[in-house]
Structure 1
């Protein structure tokens, strides 16, 4: 009997040992790849990445702040280490065209590239990229379809539904409009005053439901509150709520991260166009919820359950990530401009498509 008892204990011990799962270590950085890999690859970009820019068809300017700054930095050869005048040494090719260019003229532009540029023909544009605020939609025109399916599109966040191809296209980090710089918060600051804060924009039923709850602060965008006051409100809120895809204002996403307010992205469909999706581990710095279901009660329950070490970790990682949302008048290391360039760098290994003449 003693032998049988010992055998049972041994079997139980082996079972517990084999089924025990080592807990995953808590993330210490907001990056998808280990920090050492990210920083090493970032430096390789500076040493090796080269972009050739085609001559614009006409002189033009972009109207949105982030597009305008990105395009200005690309044009500024003296401060753009990635620019090359030799197309043979380029990794990628930039196609500049006005934001209001008609589909017919875009088609003509692609046709001219195919006729005159050997670099377009070797990949059907897969090593090219362009800038378009709302993105280009799919069309029956073969030139536009070629551009849409193959070239990397850089658009504003959030992208127009149907005009964004995940894993290929990129969105620009939104430009923070605050004129009152502040130091980022840290985990030792006092407890936030509000559970959640958001800007009121339009007549969202979801926001209307939140307005009656004292734990949430809703500020009308038409109010005369200064940007400094808005910064104070963000800093005093535990979570910052962003309505995605419903006309909500997402321009202050980077500001929320910088001031230690954990973003809550509200949408009933998957969000596949977040800025820096190739770089940041968004699941560790933001919360994703839908508008359907249990309504405000479910939202409060979800947010109320995020506290202690988990909340402090999300907040700290968000503050670290915020440096990549800053648009500087003169590009600085790891800022928004360089992180968009880094995402392009990650796309430099392109698939060589068959030539058009080989298509059936």
Structure 2
């Protein structure tokens, strides 16, 4: 809890600086729009059903107990479709067909003002109901989402759930002075992505690869300038890295379009994205080439932005839950009839 408190205080002390930079996609309107959302946004839920992943469960529980929900669908901006875990394509089709036949709201926009949770994303299908769900409705999935399961500008991803247990902010002076200063730290649990590059990084003296996810993690994160991630593998501790002042470096061979809160955060201000083709030496050159002023700004902004990526048992202003809801708010504009007339 102490570490989290420090993060919040850090944000409060640099709010003016951070919001005046390009950390936010729309720094002049983000928080005014957010305040409007708080007072007006309404969501109607068809039913309740259990979810599986920590992110889904946290969001689902927070939504159902929030003031955003309404019992009157005529006052709703969006409609929530809570599907059971591991729902098959056939079951999805039946569920949408039932909603289409029972309620008038789906047919007004063919599902464009509806959203649903799916950790891995919904696959393509020839069934009309699933096609409308996939193409029109807003999908909320976990990050990262497999290729083909995510539609940019329509879908959103959930920030990973992390307890922040044992994490200290960059303001903490408890760093082990005997720890070598590594250029980069990588927690490796999967070597199937870019195995040649991973081997080079493991053999390079300026990078530290930790095979045991729990072994001395705090020490290595705090003593590293950069924390390395391979896109598609385990990225659940990215928020922890940001909170610790370790700049995330994401190794990817294509542009990433499913980063959490992409409508809100300019990720190029807090993370580095590099390709795998240059090997360990090429990666080192890229990181060494980052100017000190830019690096310090990235560290400061990364610590500040963690308040938007943290899940709280009881949601707080500007946290992960509220910012995911804000992304839904930005997608609320759909073409709909001014008044539904029963046939």
TM class, shorter-chain normalised?
A: 0.7 to 0.9
Provide the rounded CA distance (Å) in 2 between the counterparts of 1:192 and 1:136.
45
The answer to whether the aligner puts 1:45 opposite 2:37 as a matched pair is yes
Correspondence for 2:81: 95
For 1:310, which of 272, 279, 294 is the aligned residue? 294
Q: Paired residue for 1:298, among 256, 269, 282?
A: 282
Aligned partners of 1:184, 1:114: CA distance in 2, in Å? 52
Indicate the residue corresponding to 2:50 in structure 1.
Answer: 61
Q: Distance in 1 between matches of 2:113 and 2:300?
A: 36
Q: Distance in 1 between matches of 2:253 and 2:171?
A: 31
Preserved CA contact (<8 Å) 1:177 1:252: no
Flag the 1:113–1:192 CA change in 2: closer, same or farther, 3 A. farther
Question: Equivalences for 1:159-308 in 2 at 5 Å?
Answer: 159-185=145-171, 193-203=181-191, 204-221=195-212, 225=215, 229-245=216-232, 248-292=233-277, 294-308=278-292
The C-alpha deviation readout for 1:273-307, integer Å capped at 9, x for no partner, is: 00000000111111111112x21111111000113
8 Å contact 1:174–1:251 — kept in the other structure? yes
- Following superposition, the deviation at residue 29 of structure 1 comes to 5.2
Which position in structure 1 is the counterpart of 2:11?
A: none
Aligned-partner Cα distance in 1 for 2:84–2:217: 34
Cα shift at 1:62: 2.1
Q: Distance in 2 between matches of 1:152 and 1:184?
A: 37
Does the CA contact (< 8 Å) of 1:28 and 1:317 recur in 2?
A: no
C-alpha separation in 2, matches of 1:330 and 1:181? 20
Paired residue total: 313
User: Structure 1 residues 206, 27: CA separation in 2 closer, same or farther (over 3 Å shift)?
Assistant: farther
Residue 318 of structure 1 and its aligned partner are, at CA, apart by: 1.1
Secondary structure at the aligned position of 2:253 is classed as: coil
| Residue segments in structure 2 that go unaligned for 5+ positions in a row | 1-18, 338-343
In structure 2, the residue corresponding to 1:218 is in which secondary structure? Answer: strand
Secondary structure class of the residue paired with 1:125: coil
Match of 1:32 among 18, 22, 25: 25
Which of the two has higher C-alpha Rg?
1
Q: Which runs of 5+ in 1 are unaligned?
A: 1-25, 354-360
Q: TM-score, normalised by structure 1?
A: 0.82
Contact residue 30 and residue 318 of structure 1 kept, 8 A: no
- Asked whether the 8 Å contact 1:29–1:317 carries over to 2, the reply is no
The root-mean-square deviation of aligned C-alpha atoms, in Å, is 2.2
Assess if the C-alpha contact under 8 Å between 2:187 and 2:212 holds in 1.
yes
Aligned pair in 2 of structure 1 residues 333, 192: CA closer, same or farther (>3 Å)?
farther
- Aligned equivalents of 2:34, 2:92: Cα separation in 1: 33
Contact 1:285 1:315 survives alignment (8 Å): yes
Alpha-carbon distance between aligned partners in 2 of 1:317 and 1:192, rounded to the nearest angstrom: 25
Q: 1:284 to 1:194 in 2, by over 3 A?
A: same
1:64 offset after TM fit, Å?
1.4
Cα shift readout 1:70-99 (whole Å, capped 9, x = no counterpart):
1111222xxx01011111110000001112
CA apart distance, 1:180: 2.0
Aligned equivalents of 2:20 and 2:297: distance in 1?
A: 8
1:350 counterpart = 2:334: yes
Q: Which runs of 4+ in 1 moved over 6 A?
A: 189-192
Are 1:192 and 1:238, in contact at CA under 8 Å, matched by a contact in 2? no
Q: Distance in 2 between matches of 1:62 and 1:53?
A: 14
Which residue in 2 is equivalent to 1:155? 141
